[in-house]
Amino acid sequence: MKTAFKIAWRFLTASKGQSLLIAIGIAVGVSVQVFIGSLISGLQVELVDSAIGRNTQLTVTARDRGDFVEDYQSVAASLEGAGLGVKLVSPVLDASGFLRVGQDDYPILLRGFASRNADGIYRLTEALVSGGALPGEGQVVLGLNLAQEAGISEMDTVTLATPRGSTRDVSVSGIYDLKTAALNSRWVLADIALVQAAFGYGDVASAIEMQAEDPFLADEIALKMGGILPENLKVDNWKAQNEQLLSGLNGQSVSSLMIQVFVLVSVVLAIASVLAISVMQKSKQLGILKAMGIRDGAASLIFLVEGFLLGIAGAILGVALGLGLTYAFTRFALNPDGTPVIALLVDPQFIIISALVAVASATLASLIPARRSARLDPMEVIKNG
Amino acid sequence: MDNVISLKGINKIYGSEIKTQVLTDVNLDIQDQSFTSIIGASGSGKSTLLNIIGTLDRPTSGSVAINGTQTTRMTKSALARLRNETIGFVFQFHYLLPEFTALENVLMPARIRDGRVTAEAMGRAGELMRLMGLERVQNNNAAKMSGGQQQRTSIARALINNPRIVLADEPTGNLDSDSTEVVYDILRDINERFKTTFLIITHDRRIAQKADRIIEIKDGRIFLDLPNQLAKGPEEQSA
């Protein structure tokens, strides 16, 4: 082993230019992997974040349509304490009604939140254009589109009207922009007590919303949750309701994987062919080593070690190059406002795996030249001079 | 004295469709510690014979015993071990590894045997380098030496594992006559000093005469097999 290592090392260092070229070849492959991997996962995280990160991912509602969640506070507490991997558990009471401004009625969805966790789910504080965060007693927060349409500004007093005709005056404590016109023109946010009082409901909620620690486990969490919920309640999760988004994400993952596999294949072929040429170059040396009694196994080990060492050099170089490329991309490919076009996600685990795969495939690629080396007959060399 | 090499009924045929018989029914015993030269025209089969003795090539039929061990049924790795420990090769072309220094080349068979360089091997390498007059160039890259130095390095390499047998195929074929003389004197000296058996192919009748025994191969058969005294005869007469 040591002998094979020593010979391999000397073969590599004796033709530095060629070794460097192979290492750079591997490095380019690894760097493309690191870069593409970081790009795609950055893209996915961003997409997932914008699609489901600012939304409820698991929603508990009454099994019968129109029914309420009666004992919402204790159900919420039990979900929080069950160790299911959920966060930001937030009961909410939704009610459809109208916002009356002068002579005009605007259809709204009045959303009464029972907990500041709602702020976490919808990132309301971030979304506020003006005013404080969650509305206090007798206050509401409106969406930007509705406010503009109805000509309302902060601190104005507006009238809420229920379908049954009762009305209640409230003051506007802030205006939000959730970047989605449908929500901005329909959602009016309030405290749960206000909605309960305005619509004449008791102390009930219409749903309990929450997020999952790992959004991609939402379906599994939902399954477990179903087991501990009271009979009359059910749970929905985002994955079941967003098949298109999921298949989009999957498509992205698969295409990223395909790119990486093809890069890997080309790297493996490059290494195998260069090392195969190297065996031809070194056939005289191998012949003489065999005449001197080196075993076929040790002779092939020389090339496996060469592949392994080239893989390591290429992986280190490639990770450095890939990270450099990633850094340059986030520095120079910018939106007009100075933020990167795509925020790349550098995942150390992914980089380590890429590096290990490169080393493994370089070693694997050297199997073919190693076999040739083992089969080489010293007579061929000695006869031909 | 015992025979270290014993060939019985060796035939070697190359090619499967067009068959060329290179060796025909060769029987040969080589005594321990002897110094034998093999002569013959190009294509007479002497190199093939030497390669078969060295277990680099296998005979089509017949048996080869080295050191009393039959090699016919040995595995490739057992043969490799036999070559490493019992046989030293010197070829017409030095076949040094150009990636290594002279000393590292000399040590290579010992490294193959032990998996590392032992103090003992290092000591012996130093001694051989001195004997070959190479101590000043021992750290030179193998490719950066004169032809004579390279060939002497390859002789030192053949001797590093203290083999019973050294097989040399025209070891001076590429050297000028002064270097040739030096190399032969060294080989003869080693034969006496280390009691190593030498079997040397040469074109040079003058050199052949330094041997204890001369074997001439012609058309794949042993044509002449003479002890030194007789071989010297006609040469002296012509002189």
Domain carrying residue B211: 3-238
Residue B185 pLDDT greater than 50, yes or no: yes
A284, A292, A378: residue with CB nearest B108: A292
Q: In total, how many domains does chain B have?
A: 1
Does residue B221 have a pLDDT over 80? yes
Mean pLDDT of the B196-221 span: 88
| Residue of A94, A93, A97, A96 whose CA lies nearest to A159 | A97
Interface of B with A in 133-192 (CB under 8 A): 157
State the SS3 of chain A: CHHHHHHHHHHHHHCHHHHHHHHHHHHHHHHHHHHHHHHHHHHHHHHHHHHHHCCCCEEEEECCCCCCECCHHHHHHHHHHCCCCEEEEEEEEEEEEEEEECCEEEEEEEEEECCCHHHHHHCHHHHEEEECCCCCCCEEEEEHHHHHHHCCCCCCEEEEECCCCCEEEEEEEEEECCCCHHHHCCEEEEEHHHHHHHHCCCCCECEEEEEECCHHHHHHHHHHHHHHCCCCEEEEEHHHHCHHHHHHHHHHHHHHHHHHHHHHHHHHHHHHHHHHHHHHHCHHHHHHHHHCCCCHHHHHHHHHHHHHHHHHHHHHHHHHHHHHHHHHHHHHCECCCCCECCCCCCCHHHHHHHHHHHHHHHHHHCHHHHHHHHHCCHHHHHHHC
Nearest CA in chain B to A8: B99
Nearest residue, CB atoms, A291 vs list B89, B100, B113: B89
A13 contacts on B by Cβ (under 8 Å): 99
Q: Chain B within 8 Å of A9 (Cβ-Cβ)?
A: no
Give me the mean pLDDT over the B123-132 stretch.
91
ipTM of this complex? 0.86
Q: Which two tokens stand for residue B156?
A: 């030192």
- What pLDDT is attached to residue B60? 93
Output A343 or B15, whichever has higher pLDDT: B15
Q: What's the pLDDT score for residue A148?
A: 87
Q: Which chain A residue's Cα is nearest to B110?
A: A292
The whole-model pTM stands at 0.72
Nearest-by-CA chain B residue for A298 = B112
The predicted pLDDT at position B234 comes to 46
Q: B120 and B160 in contact (C-beta within 8 Å)?
A: no
- Specify the pairing of strand B165-169 against strand B87-90: parallel
Q: What local confidence, expressed as pLDDT, does residue A338 receive?
A: 76
In angstroms, the CA A300 to CA A362 distance is: 14
Summarize pLDDT for B81-127 with one digit per residue, the tens: 999 999 999 887 778 899 999 999 999 999 999 988 999 999 999 99
The tokens describing A256, both together, are: 């990223």
Q: Is the pLDDT of residue A115 over 90?
A: no
Evaluate if residue B5 carries a pLDDT over 50: yes
pLDDT for B236 beyond 60: no
- What pLDDT was estimated at residue A336? 80
pLDDT mean over A283-309: 89
CA quadruple A167, A169, A170, A175: dihedral positive or negative? Answer: positive
Q: A244-280 pLDDT, tens per residue?
A: 878 888 888 888 888 878 877 877 787 777 777 877 7
Cα nearest neighbour of B159 on chain A: A292
When computed from its CA atoms, the radius of gyration of chain A, rounded to whole angstroms, is 32
Q: Is residue B84 within 8 angstroms of chain A, CB to CB?
A: yes
A129 touches B: beta carbon within 8 Å: no
Whether residue A16 lies within 8 A of chain B, CB to CB, comes out as no
| 8 Å CB contact of B116 and A291 | no
**In DSSP terms, which residues pair with B141 in a beta bridge?**
B101
**A103–chain B Cβ distance below 8 A for any pair:** no
Residue whose tokens read 């914008």: A50
Q: Which pLDDT belongs to residue B229?
A: 61
pLDDT bucket at A384, cuts 50 / 70 / 90:
low
CA separation for the pair B237, B216 (Å, rounded): 20
* Per-residue pLDDT tens over the stretch B150-184: 988 999 999 999 999 999 988 887 777 887 888 88
Q: How many CB atoms are closer than 10 A to CB B178?
A: 9
A52 contact B CB<8A: no
Residue B231 has pLDDT above 80, yes or no: no
Contact predicate A212/A57, CB 8 Å: yes
Residues of B in contact with A290 (CB under 8 A): 80
Predicted confidence band of residue A227 (pLDDT cuts 50, 70, 90): confident
Contacts of B100 in chain A (CB under 8 A): 10
Tally of CB atoms within 10 A around A211? 23
- Yes or no, beta carbons of B112 and A379 under 8 Å apart: no
pLDDT band at A133 (very low <50, low <70, confident <90, very high): low
What percentage of chain A reaches a pLDDT higher than 70?
Answer: 99
pLDDT of amino acid B230: 46
Q: What is the CATH number of the domain that holds B76?
A: 3.40.50.300
- Report the side by side order of strands in the sheet with B3-14: B20-31, B3-14, B61-66, B69-70
pLDDT at A366 over 70: yes
Does B115 contact A at CB distance below 8 Å? yes
- Say what the pLDDT of residue B179 is: 78
